[in-house]
Chain A
Amino acid sequence: MTTTAEPTTTELGKARTRKEDARLITGRTRFTDSITPHGTLHLHVVRSPIAHATITSVDKSAAEASPGVIGVFTAADLGVEAVGLPCAWPITPDMKAPQRPLLASSTVHFAGEGVVVVVARTAAEARDAGDLVEIDYDALEPVLDMEAALAEGATLVHPDLGTNENATWVFDSGAAGTGASVDEAIAAAEADPDSIVLRRRFRQQRLIPAFMEPRSCVVDPTGEQITVWAATQVPHILRTMTTVTLGVPESKLRVIAPDVGGGFGGKIGVLPEEMLCVAIAQRLGKPVKWTETRSESLLAAHHGRDQIQDLTITAKKDGTVTGLDVHLLADMGAYLGLVGPGVPILGAFMFNAIYKIPALKFTCTNVFTTKTLTDAYRGAGRPEATFGIERIMDELAVELGRDPMDLRKQNWITHEEFPFTTVVGLTYDSGNYEQATDQAMATFDYAGLRREQEERRARGDKVQLGIGISTFTEMCGLAPSRVLGSLAYGAGGWEAASIRMLATGKVEVITGASAHGQGHETAFSQIVADQLGVPFEDVEILHGDTQISPKGLDTYGSRSLVVGGIAIVKAAEKVVAKAKKLAAHLLEASEDDIEFNAGQFTVRGTDKGKAIQELAFAAFMAHDYPEDMEPSLDSDAVYDPENFSFPHGTHLAAMEIDTETGKVSLRRYVCVDDIGNVVNPLIVEGQVHGGLAQGIAQALFEEANYDDQGTLVNGTFVDYTLPSAADLPSFESSTVSTPATSNPLGVKGVGEAGTIASTPAIVNGVIDALRHLGVTNVEMPTTSQRVWRAIQEAKGNSTQETPIDTHSPGAGLGSIDPNNPQGEVQ
């Protein structure tokens, strides 16, 4: 009555196809917008088209008279004027934090901010009525440029704060005692003829996460608990924050993240629309639904990145790096997201990357502007840092006349030096940069491509070759709770798991991680199959519902396996311990004589034994069990990691650039990632591919562009250009393994690695192709237009200024190229 297949003990490392696919490839899915309880009313949010304005009047009368309309509400109508959305990361004690309202009452602070919400019988009727709401605005000066926003006399986004500065956060290795003083390193380098000081400014453009499933929320207030379905990465955090925000007792809320169509950090927030759904459902006593359009999503869902980076690196002329001074300006947008102010701060710990930099200072000033707020986007702080250090290592190599890989090798932590405590006080537990790099360079034929590059330069080919390098590491698996506490983060970093041994031998595993495409159901089943010696098929992973999985901290920061997966291992160990005790009792043996292997508990030296499924059944029957135990094998665990995990890798890009047109082509991309032990190579490969595509998209394709009035001008998928299949090549990705020593599975995170690593590899490659022409920088995205301009400018030719660089001129609203206003094909 128990097993349905032979147990295996070799699940880890097996390329299992995914359990979750069966429903996803047949349309048997349950995404939030597909859930419509009987009697559901539909919400539509009327948004400000203006970035910064005073609301002078709101006329709802025509909308209220529109067919099917139940109500038209301002914040005052709903009594939520005093309600503010949470920011859970006060990075400094005196951080300036404006209250983000559910709907703007007197002033709008970014184009896309909600002002009025319409409730109607159908979504179409709600939108029709929304068009009839008359809102008058008095425009105020938009605040768009970070440096101008900090200047004396600047227009203030929130006048009551007295400044556009959210906070300035500083880490100084000299002051912290984790390294030397950067000021001294710079002074020493400036005084030393055998040293150099190199300063560079880089820009991280504004990006949009652009998950494929638009955000959606359904709230059903009928019954004892209010049920919230949300397209969210963080159902547990959403529940707690709904209580904090609206005062609904946490025990009266059930939050469900059903199938969720991607997140990439973009679904980590607590949304005004989610809170409006709860408030309106309570008020009307009926289920309500809000689903955004794609254009609303691009406009009003949080954006990512948007930094100006001023870096100073000092080195001896022999190549030894002696110090790095980092000054960042980070655009918060109009308000603070849930973890928005902390995102750039995560970069503080990654600017030293894989290098033995003895002195590092990191200063980040967060700035308010009248743009959409920014918050986590895949990598969150670490792609920005990796881009900065990997770009400036290339610049340093050029200054010193060195091969960029040789310069990196000279400065990186060698594999004998692990565990290694870095200049910012993190302890990298394991790694082998030589191994990953050697394999990547061999696959890439680095020497051969360098020869080809030389030949093409010598011939003056129209299409030039560039080689881009990124040797990255990242800290992931957020995070040890005490570390988060030291950074004033508003939560811990533990994860919870429970295992229920069912009477029929099946195993239910409850995790606090909340998958939205990662394949947890498969990977976690593999872990449990190995731990308990049960068939992979007999394991069911339950997640994403606070009534089923009452405790959890959800999925972000590449934490699900290295924190959530380890919590499952800890729960499984407790199951085995209980089963061993029961087995000893039933087999009339001493517990010390019971051996556990592949699902079988046997008495040492005999053929007497019990399968774990038999013990689960015996515990269920409870006819015969030891007096000092409860009749159950079920177990819970909460795991708080001791350290981050530190995946690393070497990524190499071969870029080809047509120097006459500026056309950029990615010819080859080779990467070797060290993510420790691999649970499922198929899933790992998928995570790397997808991560690469997003990082490459930052380098080549994507930017959220605002005009001088603060209007997002590429707010549709016509002109916010996600790469299509035709825009990308196949990648040559592989892995090597230096197991993590910080967790029992030896695993590291992989979800963000590709995104963190790939952006600088591409941009270094673009510039490497053009360097001999005198080009020293091309801002991202390195579009054909920007590359062409950079080449012309290096030649001393003038080019007509384009106020907004969209790379698909004429393709959509706002993307008009003044050089070609009709968008004619040339």
Chain B
Amino acid sequence: MAQVRVTVDGVNYADDVEPRMLLVQYLRERLGKTGTVVGCDTSNCGACTVHLNGQSVKSCSVLAVQADGAEVLTIEGLARDGELHPVQKAFNECHGLQCGYCTPGMIMAAVDLLGDNPDPDETEVREGIEGNLCRCTGYQNIVRSVQRAAQMMKPGASVPTESPAPVAGGN
């Protein structure tokens, strides 16, 4: 067993883990962070994408022990004080998801992409999210979502946004 100290979505954890445990397994099985999901076993699909010290990583290709001392942000910690991140809002407004399985990883990848390139054109978005597979949308509305989020995130932007429909227990 190895010890890992890690901050996930703003909470500090210290756990003993098997050295072979993947970060995604640690998040899901130990911390109950099941919002991050697993879609493949070859690091192709990106469904498990989270941020490790502010950079997007596929959490299936990081060992939990490699996250020792690091700060991890998952889809569950992206909204702040009940306010959705602009990328989350844009995915809702632009219908950037259907079954929603790729969505946590796709959103986390998109947030990182916009950090690197705040105003990507269509080709840059398509190439930027190439490591995240979606089987439902044909990507077109995902691309629109990312570009719309870029507009919302511009300093001083006042893009009108529509809130997602409220549901029981929602935020």
Contact = CB atoms under 8 A, between A and B. Distances in A.
B139 A718 contact: no
Contacts of B141: 685-686, 689
A27 B36 contact: yes
B143 interface: yes
Of the candidates B45, B101, B102, the one having the most CB atoms from chain A within 10 angstroms of its own CB is B101
B1 interface: no
Given A25-B103, A694-B135, A728-B138, A17 B165 contact: yes
Contacts of B154: none
A451 interface: no
Interface stretch (A329-337, A569-577, A719-727): A719-727
Nearest to A122: B29
Given A21-B91, A25-B103, A690-B98, A212 B39 contact: yes
A262 B133 CA distance: 13
Given A29-B35, A690-B137, A21 B45 contact: no
A701 to B, nearest CB: 12
A518 interface: yes
B107 interface: yes
**Residue with the greatest number of chain A CB neighbours at <10 A, chosen from B44, B127, B132, B169:** B44
Interface of B is mostly: loop
B92 A730 contact: no
B135 A212 contact: yes
A728 B84 contact: no
A26 B171 contact: yes
A264 interface: yes
A717 B104 contact: no
Interface in A689-715: 689-694
Interface centre among B20, B102, B122, B164 (most CB of A within 10 A): B164
A214 interface: yes
A731 interface: yes
A693 B99 CA distance: 15
B71 to A, nearest CB: 17
B47 interface: yes
A17 B90 CA distance: 11
B170 interface: yes
B162 to A, nearest CB: 6
Range class of the B interface residue count: 35 or more
B138 A211 contact: no
A690 B133 CA distance: 12
Interface in B8-58: 18, 20, 28, 33-42, 44-45, 47
B100 interface: yes
Interface in B112-171: 122, 125-127, 129-143, 162, 164-171
A798 interface: no
Task: Name the residue in A28, A260, A261, A812 with the highest tally of chain B Cβ atoms < 10 Å from its Cβ.
Answer: A261
A24 B103 contact: yes
Most A-side CB within 10 Å, residue of B45, B93, B95, B129:
B95
Given A294-B42, A692-B138, A725-B125, A28 B95 contact: no
A17 B41 contact: no
A519 B98 contact: yes
B88 interface: yes
B83 to A, nearest CB: 11
B39 A262 contact: no
Given A22-B166, A690-B137, A725-B143, A33 B38 contact: yes
A213 interface: yes
A462 to B, nearest CB: 22
Nearest to B22: A124
A interface bracket (residues with beta carbon within 8 Å of B)? 35 or more
B138 A724 contact: no
A20 B95 CA distance: 11
Given A722-B135, A731-B138, A17 B95 contact: yes
B95 A25 contact: no
Looking at A20, A22, A34, which has the most chain B CB atoms within 10 Å of its CB?
A22
A444 to B, nearest CB: 17
Contacts of A210: 135
Nearest to A728: B139
B105 to A, nearest CB: 10
Contacts of A623: none
B135 A17 contact: no
A23 B168 CA distance: 10
Contacts of B37: 29, 31, 33-34, 213, 261
Contacts of A213: 37, 39, 99, 101
B126 A717 contact: no
B131 to A, nearest CB: 8
A22 B167 contact: yes
B70 interface: no
Given A21-B91, A689-B137, A724-B130, A29 B40 contact: no
A718 B20 CA distance: 22
B74 interface: yes
Nearest to B34: A34
B82 to A, nearest CB: 10
Given A690-B137, A726-B127, A26 B98 contact: no
Contacts of A442: none
A626 to B, nearest CB: 34
A409 B139 CA distance: 33
B91 A717 contact: no
15 contacts: A18-B92, A19-B167, A22-B166, A23-B100, A25-B100, A26-B79, A26-B88, A212-B102, A261-B37, A261-B99, A262-B99, A262-B135, A537-B166, A694-B135, A724-B133
Interface of A: 16-29, 31, 33-34, 124, 210-214, 259-262, 264, 293-295, 516-519, 522, 536-537, 540, 682-683, 685-687, 689-694, 716-718, 722, 724-726, 728, 730-731, 754, 812
Given A212-B39, A690-B136, 17 more contacts: A19-B165, A22-B164, A25-B88, A29-B34, A124-B18, A212-B101, A262-B136, A293-B41, A517-B98, A540-B168, A685-B141, A689-B141, A690-B135, A717-B44, A725-B130, A726-B127, A728-B138
A-B interface, 9 closest residue pairs, ranked by CB to CB distance from nearest: A27-B35, A261-B101, A517-B99, A24-B100, A693-B138, A689-B138, A34-B34, A717-B44, A27-B75
